[in-house]
Chain A
Amino acid sequence: MALQLRRKTHESIVYIDKDSAPRIMPFGEDFQLNDIPIGTRVIYPNPPIKGLPNREAAIRYAVNHPLDMDPLYALLEPGMKVSIAIDDISLPLPPMATPDMRQTMLEVVLDMCTANGIDDIHIIIANSLHRKMTAWEMKRMVGSKIFDEFYPDRYYNHDAEDDDGLVTLGHTRHNEPLRINRRCFESDLTIYCNINLVPMDGGHKSVAVGLCDYESLRAHHEPQTIRDSHSYMDPPKSELNHKVIRLGKLVDEQMKVFHIETALNNKMFSDGYDILTRNEDEFSFADRLKWEAMKRTFSKMPRVARRKMLHAIPAQYELIGCYAGSTEPVHEKILELNYRQYEIPVKGQCDIMITGIPDISPYNVYSALNPLLVQVMALGYHFNMFRNKPLLRKGGTLILTHPCFDEFDHNFHPSYIEFFHRLLPESRDAFFLREKYEREFASNPAYVEMYRRGNAYHGAHPFFMWYWGENGRQHVGQVIAAGAENAHVPEILGWERADNLTEAIAMARSKQGRNAEITMLHQPIIGLCNVSD
């Protein structure tokens, strides 16, 4: 692209010039300051949309003025059996400052239920095969008043391995099975309180995925479905989404679900840390001081302490919209808001994509981002943050910055360890792994019980994490882990390693050519690149 065209095409896109400042990039639990080659296109998150001034009023208005359904108060009758399902800890990221959005939604809904004479209420976390949340996390999520009233008998995690607690709804016309939480199925009304952080969340996924069992999930969490999703952040082009919609229709035929969806802005950090998402060229003296202070503090801390510190910083998300009622129209409205917040029009693909991997993912809240999760962030989430066409050209090079330490959380990710160290050295073929080992892991009694009684991800979950990177793996020609502190982790993942970003860019250019177009996603970013020619 000619230099004169490299000026502001969009407020979130910046081109590196000879006088540009170095860029701050996440590097696991740390941050680096890197010089980026001249001409590199850097994509920043859009500025946050201003949050609604009174979120409780917005939620109340939504449930009283629903789409394609009667208002919530009209659906409630004394003596009814009601289940309220909520998203688990994987949303939003990082966990938001209290009160959590779910707490506000629950306060509104519970208030209405009580006023209508309903006592039989259960609050169920729709964690699907994710780890069950700890009591402390559950309390933080809903506030102590609701927690004290409902926990543990009427506020609990969904258990996808509890045969008595599940009921089969049937099969879709494509023979996808659906077994779902019995309590929700047997309730006169299920109310789902959702937080739609990215476009792949919410909609029919909430109930049909969040409250299902392993056999139901494996019908769509499989390599071919992921390969056929371009991307899974673009629902109309996502095969995964199509399958979930089919399952959702099955839910709608047999259950009464009142859906409440919320959209948040992307205000991830408070003022102290907002420099991490801003254009470095526009840093003031105070901003530079903040960065120096942060860098010096981090350099004095061991990795575990840095992780603890980062995980203790709550996100400052604000509500930008709430809709309630029937699942599909509600989700459609919320997606519009998501796109308005996240979508960044980008002209032209790139040959080399640079992305820093921060210590933020749906699966490592309060734990380490292990190698498999680094993979899912790079080839799964960061690669898939596009609409229309991938940001990276087919066969291009993806450079990620992360230390790639060989560290796993034994409580949260026990099956990941075996998957990474036993299976991946044998094969990286997702279809082979699914065929040969997925069921073995899913039915491993130790993993089953660690999922049910502890806080472990389900035994099959590492497979889904591997499949999640499948379309990225098929598309990308080369992955380079810049700054990886060992050789074996990148090697097991099928990647190359470089000591630092400069070396990685040199390696990438030797493959893609000296004139290769470079684009950097300025992480952490929740942004969706709408890529055109």
Chain B
Amino acid sequence: MNRNGQAAAFYDLEGTLVSTNLVHTLAFYAKRQQGLWQTAKKSVGTIARLPFFGVADLYSRNVFNEVFFKSYEGFSHDRLRYFSDELFEEVLKPAVYAGTRDLIASGKKIGQRQVVITGALDFTIERLMDDLGIDDYRGNCMEFVNGYSTGRIIPPVMASATKAQWIREYAERENINLSDSYAYSDSISDLPMLSIVGHPVAVNPDFRLKQTALQHDWPILDLK
């Protein structure tokens, strides 16, 4: 590990910096399908699958990702890209937590590189990353064939341990000192990512992460 490098702040996105989650994005796109029938079909399908998403997420974030991104199957690339600006303005920007911008500003003030690692699709968060002043980000990349989504994520899927692995590789590549770095997340599924930095922080944590944070004496932050 590089002990002389720059420090960075690694953030999870959904639930940590913004109040939305992956389902909000999916619902947004489901409502903007070509034609009324498609829109209704996708919207109802999304609502019907919500319990499955919940159960899958409780079981494993990797299983959730597999189940969840299948819902994008058949979405056109053009449409997804076209509506990403609207997604930012209507869904993501209003969902930024009150304390998010100050937290990022505090990190920048002390020279930390600001990096977001998220399970969200990369093209959906481009504008948000610009708006928040994030230096680097890594989201999931959807596979497209002939301009249409296959519902599969190009590996590695960003979740749990893969986030930690990506951070390690990023730190190596970018000369980042992980001991001086911070990681912020709201979910116990990000425990690997929180565990590899010197300064893990639980943000708006779920019950299990809160208990873990209390046990390990990690700071618990409420950005809401």
Q: Does B173 contact A (CB under 8 A)?
A: no
Q: Does B199 contact A (CB under 8 A)?
A: yes
Binding stretch for chain A, among B39-47, B58-66, B80-88, B107-115:
B107-115
Residue of A418, A445, A452 near B9 (CB, 8 A) is A445
Q: Does B1 contact A (CB under 8 A)?
A: no
Give residues 433-453 of A contacting B (CB, 8 Å): 443-450, 452-453
- Number of B positions contacting A (CB below 8 A): 22
Residue of B106, B109, B217 near A418 (CB, 8 A) is B217
**Distance (whole angstroms) from the CB of B44 to the closest CB of chain A:** 39
Decide: B217 and A449 in contact? CB cutoff 8 A. no
Give residues 159-214 of B contacting A (CB, 8 Å): 182, 184, 199, 201, 213-214
Residue in B closest to A448 when the chains form the complex, CB atoms: B106
Decide: B109 and A449 in contact? CB cutoff 8 A. no
Compute how far the CA of A450 lies from the CA of B204 in the bound complex, rounded to whole angstroms.
12
Decide: B109 and A446 in contact? CB cutoff 8 A. no
Residue in A closest to B109 when the chains form the complex, CB atoms: A443
Q: Does B99 contact A (CB under 8 A)?
A: yes
Decide: A446 and B217 in contact? CB cutoff 8 A. no
Decide: A453 and B219 in contact? CB cutoff 8 A. no
Residue of B107, B182, B217 near A410 (CB, 8 A) is B217
11 new A-B contacts, CB < 8 A, other than A414-B220, A443-B110, are: A410-B214, A410-B217, A444-B199, A445-B9, A445-B107, A446-B103, A446-B219, A446-B221, A448-B106, A449-B106, A449-B221
Report the tally of A-B residue pairs with Cβ distances under 8 A: 53
- By DSSP majority rule, is chain A's interface helix, strand, loop, or mixed? helix
Q: A446 and B199 in contact (CB under 8 A), knowing A408-B217, A410-B214, A410-B217?
A: yes
Residue of A408, A418, A446, A452 near B182 (CB, 8 A) is A446
Q: Does A417 contact B (CB under 8 A)?
A: yes
Compute how far the CA of A448 lies from the CA of B219 in the bound complex, rounded to whole angstroms.
11
Q: List B contacts of A410 (CB < 8 A).
A: 213-214, 217, 219-220
Decide: A449 and B99 in contact? CB cutoff 8 A. yes
Compute how far the CA of A163 lies from the CA of B223 in the bound complex, rounded to whole angstroms.
19
Q: List B contacts of A418 (CB < 8 A).
A: 217
Give residues 413-431 of A contacting B (CB, 8 Å): 414-415, 417-418, 421
Q: List A contacts of B89 (CB < 8 A).
A: none
Compute how far the CA of A452 lies from the CA of B102 in the bound complex, rounded to whole angstroms.
10
- Chain A interface (Cβ within 8 Å of chain B)? 408, 410-411, 414-415, 417-418, 421, 443-450, 452-454
- 8 pairs of A and B residues whose beta carbons are closest in the complex: A445-B106, A446-B219, A446-B201, A417-B217, A414-B219, A445-B107, A443-B110, A448-B106
Q: Does B136 contact A (CB under 8 A)?
A: no
Q: A450 and B217 in contact (CB under 8 A), knowing A443-B106, A443-B110?
A: no
Compute how far the CA of A447 lies from the CA of B184 in the bound complex, rounded to whole angstroms.
13
**Distance (whole angstroms) from the CB of A421 to the closest CB of chain B:** 7
Q: Does B222 contact A (CB under 8 A)?
A: yes
Compute how far the CA of A410 lies from the CA of B201 in the bound complex, rounded to whole angstroms.
12
Decide: B223 and A449 in contact? CB cutoff 8 A. yes
Give residues 90-133 of B contacting A (CB, 8 Å): 98-99, 102-103, 106-107, 109-110, 112
Compute how far the CA of A445 lies from the CA of B213 in the bound complex, rounded to whole angstroms.
17
Residue of B110, B199, B221 near A454 (CB, 8 A) is B221
Decide: B110 and A449 in contact? CB cutoff 8 A. no
Decide: B99 and A453 in contact? CB cutoff 8 A. yes
Compute how far the CA of A415 lies from the CA of B199 in the bound complex, rounded to whole angstroms.
12
**Distance (whole angstroms) from the CB of A301 to the closest CB of chain B:** 23
Residue of B110, B217, B222 near A445 (CB, 8 A) is B110
Q: List A contacts of B107 (CB < 8 A).
A: 445
